[in-house]
Structure 1
Amino acid sequence: MPRPTSTTRSWTRATTRSSCSRGSSEPRSLTSSATSEGTDPGVRRVRLEIDLDPLDVLRLFRGRERLVALLGAWHQGEALIAFDPVRVAERPFDDVVTAPLVAPGSFGGGWIGVWGYRLGQRVESVPEPATRPVPQPDHRIGFYDRVLRRSNGTWWLETLGRTDDHDVLASLGLAPERPPFDVGSFVLTPSPAEHRAGVERALEHIRAGDIFQVNLCARLEAPFEGDPLELFCAGVDALHPAYAAFVDSPEGAVASLSPELFLRRTGREVLTSPIKGTAALTSDPAELEASGKDRAENVMIVDLMRNDLGRVSAPGSVRVPALVRAERHAVWHLVSDVVSHLPPGVTDAQLLRATFPPGSVTGAPKVRAMEVAASLEPTARETYTGAIGHVSPAAGLELNVAIRTFEVSDGRIWLGVGGGIVSDSTPEAEYA
């Protein structure tokens, strides 16, 4: 997780600069056609001849109802784009249970959206901070029965039996627009002095043996004008995150530039890859791997995720095939992998209830760390530190950790930032 200032400044500066230059650029023209069709069991696939990158294809569907996009490493592809869901979830865990289809290499459709952090507070019966500057829904999840998917450089229109393609093909014949947007000056809540005081109080809990680690978060907020889709495109263009996600809804938009995989379920196999430990790209990754503080943070969260997965996994199946490796993203991160095997009959809802919210953004022990964080953070988390992704009958479940995530509503934009506090943390270093 980033510190509240230095890394975040680079994201916001890069995003704002990109918006100014790209907003005035001339879009390329586009010609497209559907050239072939294929069918996996339950999934209809139409191959499209499109000469545009994922961001410009996404721009073609600007303004469509509940537009969503997953860009990066999702489902072993490069892009998933969908709009006009046939259903909106009312129950964020129970509604998203799907009967699996056997469709190798396909996505087809499924539930796509946001599971906000506050859902986890309810699952674990943790009190929520009273202050919510811009209240947002605790979930925004729709069922999409057709998606545009790019894999290995090829675009496909994939549907769960749906055959009305004319509106998609018509949009693909247009030229993408790149309107400008403007982000005002960010203000941090709490103030620097208040944040340092919060870190000190967290350290008191750690010294007393109440917790081992807590993720303490702050909020950057600013005025916003323009289309949040363009903010998302600029951020992806600048940072190339592994698990980028855009979710639009009547209440506002979420633009996530996350590098972190929360959960991937394929059949009965589950993978989580928690991130703890961060260093600038100019630093030596070997030094990050050797850092006692960063390794301790990462290992504690690995143990937490082992425990969470163990609640629903087959006995003895939880393993750690990779412990504390440095990965290159917009910064260096320490990443570990935890895998498990689910017994027959375990649903996605059961898996989510056992693991949500992600352990890397809570602390250890999980529930007590969430309680401490709620008592010290001056404003409630909304989408931030929840999860964004898909639950698909063909492609399984895949969710990011909603960090580096902008939320836009009512002319305001905010970005949650935070860091893991452990016994050798210092208030000054946590704000640096």
Structure 2
Amino acid sequence: MRIERLGDLGTAPAVLRALGYAAARRGISPPAALIGDWFASRAVIAPSVAITPVVASAVFDVAAGGSGGAVGGGWFGYLSYPDAGADGTGPRIPEAAGGWSDCVLRQDRDGRWWYESLSGAAVSEWVTDALGTEVAPRRCEVVWDEADRDAHGRGVAACLDAIAAGEVYQACVCTQFRGRVTGAPLDFFVDAVARTSPARAAYVAGDWGAVASLSPELFLRRRGEEIASSPIKGTLPRYADPRALRASAKEVAENIMIVDLVRNDLGRVAITGSVTVPELLAVRPAPGVWHLVSTVTARVDTAVPMSTVLDATFPPASVTGTPKTRARQLLRGWEPDRRGIYCGTVGLASPVAGTELNVAIRTVEFDASGNAVLGVGGGITADSDPEHEWQECLHKAAPITGSGARPQDRVVELTP
């Protein structure tokens, strides 16, 4: 593998913009990017990668790497949430897509940039030129329609009835904002990441459209035998006192139920006795909100293919419910529309560094015709109030749609 230090190239959004504009000028495939907290780095960017439709069973099908430091390259892509909505319509973009990049630009935690190539190839001349060329940002605007409040309310009410009847203990009921795009999805993503700094941001694009994920949540991290998942359950708007999360019986119960579900999912493929919970009910900031976050870890034999791991764990526990199978069945009738990439996963499988996948929440799906879809939702328990749940959806959407933010929003760091 070839590794070259590139030094200070600027912020990850600026580097992604420069590469995206240069790729477009040359008529080649756009970049793919992971920005935030990925592979112990601030950013991992493939300068140009063809992201094409694939069958769902083929996503992230790379041997489990495990070394630290370099990433080198690998398979960038996404996998959509698999279930249809009540209207029964098909996918708006491919259900799964991805592609292989032999090289990446990686920004380490100290802000230094590195060029890494699995094959040992040198940096392409066009990449060097792009990184040395200052580019002016271009505007991308999405005009969003209002989400269907009544439909969401009916879904929450149906979920509460199902909980009272003992069919489920908890389920994640979602709604959608739809919009029309003027400009390029890359510019939307670059601007949103620069404004909100999400922990698990990811961008992939192709002729079919684009996925711009501003997620705060880790679905799976797999390095060698070690695997981890950090489900998010429990939310308050950023202007609220974050300590109220741990004081809320509803939010705590919601998180613990999902932790148990993640433990069960990982236990289906883990080495017996290896499933642990090293972090429980930590309060973490995310764009526009505070979250309760827990972490579940396990050991999985490296011979177990990623397809088997995904069969056991996907879709992510935090966006389904308990029990998982029944919750998914009911959600297909409660939610009018197919979720699509929302509540699926985006990430990278590297033969060197392993696999890291987000939970595709706070994620916008762009099709090739200029349409945008943003899904938001929340976990419903027996203590849920429908009005509160609707407001939670608005708080989650506000940093992306630009609506509903309050002037007293503030940032307060709280250690777990």
Q: Per the shorter chain, which TM-score range?
A: 0.7 to 0.9
Correspondence 1:348-427 to 2 at 5 A: 348-409=306-367, 410-427=369-386
Pick one of 257, 262, 265 that aligns with 1:305.
262
Query: SS of the counterpart of 2:19?
Result: coil
Shift of 1:53: 1.3
The one-letter code matched in structure 1 to 2:105 is: L
- Is the 2:30–2:50 Cα contact (8 Å) retained in structure 1? no
Aligned: 1:314 with 2:271: yes
Distance (whole Å) between structure 2 residues aligned to residue 307 and residue 162 of structure 1:
41
Pick one of 296, 313, 317 that aligns with 1:338.
296
Match of 2:11 in 1: 53
Shift of 1:404: 0.4
Shift in alpha-carbon separation, 1:110–1:129, aligned structure 2, 3 A? farther
- Is the 1:48–1:157 Cα contact (8 Å) retained in structure 2? yes
Query: SS of the counterpart of 1:419?
Result: strand
For structure 2, the residue ranges without an aligned partner over 5 or more in a row are: 392-416
Query: SS of the counterpart of 2:361?
Result: coil
Q: Deviations over 1:315-350 (max 9, x none)?
A: 111111111121122221000110111135222221
Shift in alpha-carbon separation, 1:241–1:347, aligned structure 2, 3 A? same
Shift of 1:50: 3.9
TM-score by length of structure 1 reads: 0.84
Shift of 1:419: 1.0
- Is the 1:86–1:145 Cα contact (8 Å) retained in structure 2? no
Shift in alpha-carbon separation, 1:400–1:312, aligned structure 2, 3 A? same
Distance (whole Å) between structure 1 residues aligned to residue 65 and residue 357 of structure 2:
19
Shift in alpha-carbon separation, 1:185–1:100, aligned structure 2, 3 A? closer
Match of 1:20 in 2: none
Task: Please provide the CA RMSD for this pair.
Answer: 1.9
Distance (whole Å) between structure 2 residues aligned to residue 319 and residue 248 of structure 1:
36
Match of 1:139 in 2: 96
Match of 2:243 in 1: 286
Match of 2:75 in 1: 111
The one-letter code matched in structure 1 to 2:208 is: E
* Range that drifts further, 202-211 or 179-188: 179-188
Query: SS of the counterpart of 1:204?
Result: helix
Aligned: 1:201 with 2:158: yes
Aligned: 1:98 with 2:62: yes
Query: SS of the counterpart of 1:200?
Result: helix
- Is the 1:59–1:177 Cα contact (8 Å) retained in structure 2? no
Query: SS of the counterpart of 1:391?
Result: strand
- Is the 1:92–1:141 Cα contact (8 Å) retained in structure 2? no
Pick one of 22, 45, 49 that aligns with 1:81.
45
Distance (whole Å) between structure 2 residues aligned to residue 358 and residue 315 of structure 1:
21
Query: SS of the counterpart of 1:289?
Result: helix
Shift of 1:194: 2.4
Match of 2:389 in 1: 430
Q: Deviations over 1:378-407 (max 9, x none)?
A: 010110000111111111010110000111
Correspondence 1:165-244 to 2 at 5 A: 165=123, 166-188=125-147, 191-244=148-201
